[in-house]
Structure 1
C-alpha cells in the first residue's frame, strides 16, 4: 500500500530556517551598527579634513632696517612757483633715502631758497638730513647758513645774517635755527660767538648761551 506525505510542511520548514537565520543576522548587525556608524563618521571626517585646503598663514611683516631704499648721485632738484620763478634748489653729491625713519641724507649739500619777499637764503654742509615733510633740516660738518639782506613784507630792512657751526638745526615751521654746539652768528658787521644758540626769525631775536663773545662795530 503506497502512502504519500504532504509536501507543504516539507517546503515550509526550510523557509522558516532561512527566516530564522536572517533574523539572527540582523540581530547581530544591530548590535554592532552604532559602532559601524561611528567608524563611517570618523572616516568621513578624516576625508573632509584631508580634502579641505589649509588656509595660508599671512607672512610676517618685514621689519624695516636702517638701509637706503634708493640713492641719487650728483643730482639737482629745482622747485618753481606758479609764475615760473624758482623757489628753491637742492644740489648734492649723493643722496640716500631711509624708509624706516623717512629721512633723506645729502652729502656735500648746497641749498638755495627764496622767501615770498624774494630774500635768498643759502645753506651748505658736508651732510644735510631732512625729514619726510621737509620741515626740519640738520646740517653737519662746516655748516653755513646765509640770509641775504633785504626787506620784509612790511618794508622793514632785514640785515644780512650768517650762521657758522659744525651742527645747525633748521626748523622751517617755526622759522627757527638752533644749535647745541659752538656757533658763530654774524649780523651785518657784528659777530657773536656762543656755546649754543636759538634764533627765532619771526622775532628777529637770538638767545645765546654758554661762553658768549660779542664784537660790535661802531655805527
Structure 2
C-alpha cells in the first residue's frame, strides 16, 4: 500500500493538530520558568543566608574553662544553664559563677543572676545581684596579706583578656570592716586585685588589722 505525498502531508497536519495543545502548554511552561528565573533575585550561598538568633544547644549545670599560655586555668564559669546561639556563637547563662585565677593570689569569684558572653569569649556581662568576692589571704613571701573584699552592683562587665571587671552603675564595696558606696561604679583590676571607685564616694574606712592591707 503506497501513499501519495498529499496524503502524507495531510497525516502530518492532523498529527500536529492533535499535538498542538501539548506543544502550546510546553512552550508556556518554558516561558513561565524563564520569567521566574529572570525576575527572582539570586539565591545567596548557604553560608551567607541570614541565620536566626536561636539556640542550637542548651547545657544544664555546665562548666566552661579556659587555660593560660602555661596551661593553668585562667578562669572557670559554672552555670545552672548554658544556652548557645548558632548565629553569633554567643552564650547566655542562668546563675553564672565565674572564678578568676592569678598565681600566688586568692581566686576571685564573680557571680550574678544572669549572664551573657560574646562569641569571641572576651566579654562576660553579668546582670542582677552581681558581686565580686575575694577571700582574705594571709601574707606570703611574695604577697602581702589582704582583707576579705566584696563588691556588689546590679551589673558587671568582665573584660577577660584584660583581667578587668568594671561597672558604670552604683556599687557598694566592703573591705574588711570598711564600707564605701560609689554612684558611678568602679573598676576592679584582677592582676593587682584592687578596686578603684568613680563618682561620688561615701562610706567609712576602718583601720586594717596589723599585717593586712
- Pairwise same-fold verdict (TM > 0.5): yes
Asked if the contact 1:78–1:90 (Cα under 8 Å) also holds between the matched residues in 2, the reply is: yes
Structure showing greater radius of gyration is 1
RMSD of aligned Cα (Å): 3.5
Asked if the contact 2:80–2:95 (Cα under 8 Å) also holds between the matched residues in 1, the reply is: yes
Q: 1:87, CA displacement in angstroms?
A: 5.4
The aligned residue for residue 115 of structure 2 is 128
The aligned residue for residue 90 of structure 1 is 77
The aligned residue for residue 21 of structure 2 is none
Give the TM-score normalised by the residue count of structure 1: 0.61
User: For the structure 1 residues 152 and 146, does the alpha-carbon distance in structure 2 shift closer, same or farther, using more than 3 Å as the test?
Assistant: farther
Aligned pair partner of 1:209 in 199, 205, 209 = 199
Count of aligned pairs:
167
Report the Cα distance in structure 1 between the residues aligned to 2:135 and 2:75, rounded to whole angstroms: 15
Asked if the contact 1:90–1:110 (Cα under 8 Å) also holds between the matched residues in 2, the reply is: yes
1:22-171 equivalences under 5 Å are 59-60=44-45, 61-77=48-64, 88-150=75-137, 154-171=142-159
Report the Cα distance in structure 2 between the residues aligned to 1:79 and 1:177, rounded to whole angstroms: 17
Give the TM-score normalised by the residue count of structure 2: 0.63
The aligned residue for residue 51 of structure 1 is none
Q: 1:181, CA displacement in angstroms?
A: 1.6
The aligned residue for residue 34 of structure 2 is none
The aligned residue for residue 175 of structure 1 is 163
Report the Cα distance in structure 1 between the residues aligned to 2:83 and 2:205, rounded to whole angstroms: 42
The aligned residue for residue 23 of structure 1 is none
The aligned residue for residue 189 of structure 1 is 177
Report the Cα distance in structure 1 between the residues aligned to 2:155 and 2:69, rounded to whole angstroms: 34
Consecutive unaligned residues in structure 1, runs of 5 or more: 1-53
Which structure carries more relative contact order (alpha carbon 8 Å, separation 6+)?
2
1:10-21 equivalences under 5 Å are none
User: For the structure 1 residues 71 and 112, does the alpha-carbon distance in structure 2 shift closer, same or farther, using more than 3 Å as the test?
Assistant: same
User: For the structure 1 residues 154 and 165, does the alpha-carbon distance in structure 2 shift closer, same or farther, using more than 3 Å as the test?
Assistant: same
